[in-house]
């Protein structure tokens, strides 16, 4: 059977793209080696980050670089054996994080983030009660241990409010304690980002989107796709010994995208930031109602269906290297200083890999050297946030519609020579 579109990758980007294509009358098959939404989409802090107009730049101050270099940082660490392979994209990442370059990145990135809530809202409404019950619309808190850091962040929040309409409030410890009474006095105050939504089970939300995709007539094949190729205007890939074909193909494989794109001649400077999470019980009668991020240390703490989830910062390592959850242990110790965590719930830490580009912006749109091939990858820390918006933009581009925002800044060509 000939599909209109085959999508490689059943994370939140692939599923969202499939839904938007089905709405436009296309027949769609999604292919993935794992169950939908079980990889990068699964392990995150569960925030739809409308406030996230500024992607994470490479640190340029000597103190932070020294902390990372000496493995003293909780927010970031590196695997020394991975450095030879990671050095070229990381050097460009550092270059793109210069003030002049970063300013342009933010200008291009902000409209994409601006689509995040509306795009998720659209799919949540379509997916129904199973999706809606997972959503909380009360924002989240960037919690500080020192007044100087809080004041500096408040100044940045004020600028982002003026430039991009990002909603926020500054709360002192007393105000925060009225909302989260079990947070200790080590936290002096917080920025309350009021626009974002939070999700009590990110994996379950992706599953709800997948059930919507399937109810609309989409097809899913579980298996590792190989040998993606085009002949006479038809794209084909082999899955479990069977050839699956489509008039168009979309690669939304996140950190596994190079395995498919490089044989087609697209060698992109992608790298991964690995991350870990663990769930915890709470001591006594303690409760946590909102997500807290401890930026002076570098981890997030979020109330989830399985308990309080701690998610780590960035581990610069090879995608498939063995887990090294050092950051999680350090983050857990620091989290216990500000909140009464109980025991670990999961038998072992979850590990995932965030697919990143050196300029901190995803690749969205047509692959330039082939007809009918499209890509949605490289969302770094904002894949969960931007999945539905990226899916909408890809479907619009693939069907010849005007895109909701200008996607030229996200084209693949910026990395090809």
Task: Record the tokens describing residue 195, joined without a space.
Answer: 């626009």
> What is the CATH number assigned to the segment(s) 61-83+135-199+270-356?
3.30.9.10
Helix (H, G, I), strand (E, B) or coil at 68: helix
Cα→Cα distances 145→132, 169, 186, 230, 334, Å: 34, 17, 6, 55, 11
The closest alpha carbon to 219, from 402, 10, 74, belongs to: 10
Cα→Cα distances 261→115, 126, 343, Å: 27, 32, 43
> What is the CATH number assigned to the segment(s) 1-57+97-134+200-267+361-417?
3.50.50.60
Is residue 378 within 8 A of residue 270, CB to CB? The reply is yes
DSSP-assigned states of every residue in 323-334: P-THHHHHHHHH
Is residue 348 within 8 A of residue 324, CB to CB? The reply is no
Strands 28-32 and 219-222, sheet pairing: parallel
Is residue 2 within 8 A of residue 254, CB to CB? The reply is no
Positions of E strands within 54-149: 76-78, 135-136, 140-144
Query: For residue 293, what is the DSSP state?
Result: E
Determine the Cα–Cα distance for residues 224 and 240; give it in Å rounded to an integer: 7
Helix (H, G, I), strand (E, B) or coil at 2: strand
Task: Record the tokens describing residue 277, joined without a space.
Answer: 């999470």
Helix (H, G, I), strand (E, B) or coil at 25: coil
Helix (H, G, I), strand (E, B) or coil at 32: strand
Is residue 274 within 8 A of residue 317, CB to CB? The reply is yes
Cα→Cα distances 177→6, 289, 344, Å: 50, 12, 25
Determine the Cα–Cα distance for residues 126 and 103; give it in Å rounded to an integer: 36
Residues 6 or more apart whose Cβ sits within 8 Å of residue 242: none
- What is the residue extent of each domain of the chain? 1-57+97-134+200-267+361-417, 61-83+135-199+270-356
The closest alpha carbon to 53, from 230, 244, 193, belongs to: 193
pLDDT of residue 324: 94
pLDDT of residue 1: 66
pLDDT by 10s per residue, the chain, length 417: 689 999 999 999 999 999 999 999 999 999 999 999 888 888 899 999 999 999 999 988 888 888 878 777 889 999 999 999 999 999 999 999 999 999 999 999 999 999 999 999 999 999 999 999 999 999 999 999 999 999 999 999 999 999 999 999 999 999 999 999 999 999 999 999 999 999 999 999 999 999 999 999 999 999 999 999 999 999 999 999 999 999 999 999 999 999 999 999 999 999 999 999 999 999 999 999 999 999 999 999 999 999 999 999 999 999 999 999 999 999 999 999 999 999 999 999 999 999 999 999 999 999 999 999 999 999 999 999 999 999 999 999 999 999 999 999 999 999 997
DSSP-assigned states of every residue in 331-350: HHHHHHHHS-EEEE-SSS-E
The closest alpha carbon to 143, from 179, 200, 193, 188, belongs to: 188
């Amino acid at each position: 059977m000939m599909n209109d579109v085959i999508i490689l990758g059943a994370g939140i980007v692939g599923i969202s793209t499939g839904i938007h294509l089905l709405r436009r009358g296309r027949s769609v098959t999604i292919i993935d080696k794992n169950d939908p939404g079980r990889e990068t989409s699964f392990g995150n802090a569960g925030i739809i980050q409308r406030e996230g107009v500024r992607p994470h730049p490479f640190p340029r101050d000597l103190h932070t670089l020294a902390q990372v270099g000496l493995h003293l940082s909780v927010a970031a660490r590196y695997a020394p054996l991975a450095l030879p392979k990671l050095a070229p994209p990381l050097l460009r990442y550092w270059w793109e994080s210069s003030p002049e370059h970063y300013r342009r990145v933010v200008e291009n990135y902000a409209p994409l983030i601006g689509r995040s809530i509306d795009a998720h809202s659209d799919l949540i409404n379509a997916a129904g009660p199973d999706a809606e019950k997972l959503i909380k619309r009360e924002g989240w808190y960037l919690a500080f241990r020192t007044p100087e850091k809080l004041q500096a962040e408040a100044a940045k929040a004020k600028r982002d409010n003026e430039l991009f309409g990002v909603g926020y409030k500054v709360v002192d410890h007393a105000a925060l304690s009225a909302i989260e009474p079990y947070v200790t006095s080590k936290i002096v105050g917080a920025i309350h980002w009021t626009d974002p939504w939070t999700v009590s089970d990110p994996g379950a939300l992706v599953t709800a989107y997948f059930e919507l995709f399937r109810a609309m007539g989409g097809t899913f094949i579980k298996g590792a796709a190989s040998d993606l190729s085009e002949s006479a205007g038809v794209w084909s890939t082999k899955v479990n010994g069977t050839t699956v074909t489509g008039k168009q193909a979309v690669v939304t494989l996140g950190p596994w995208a190079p395995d498919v794109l490089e044989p087609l001649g697209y060698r992109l400077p992608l790298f991964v930031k690995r991350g870990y999470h663990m769930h915890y019980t709470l001591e006594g009668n303690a409760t946590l109602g909102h997500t807290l991020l401890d930026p002076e240390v570098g981890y997030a703490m979020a109330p989830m269906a399985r308990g309080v989830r701690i998610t780590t910062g960035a581990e610069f390592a090879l995608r498939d290297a063995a887990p090294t959850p050092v950051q999680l242990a350090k983050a857990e110790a620091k989290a216990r200083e500000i909140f009464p965590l109980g025991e670990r719930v999961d038998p072992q830490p979850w590990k995932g890999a965030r697919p990143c580009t050196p300029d901190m912006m995803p690749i969205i749109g047509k692959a330039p050297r082939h007809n009918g091939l499209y890509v949605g990858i490289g969302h770094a820390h904002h894949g969960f946030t931007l999945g539905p918006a990226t899916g909408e933009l890809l479907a619009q581009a693939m069907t010849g519609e005007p895109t909701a925002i200008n996607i030229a800044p996200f084209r693949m060509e910026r990395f090809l020579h």
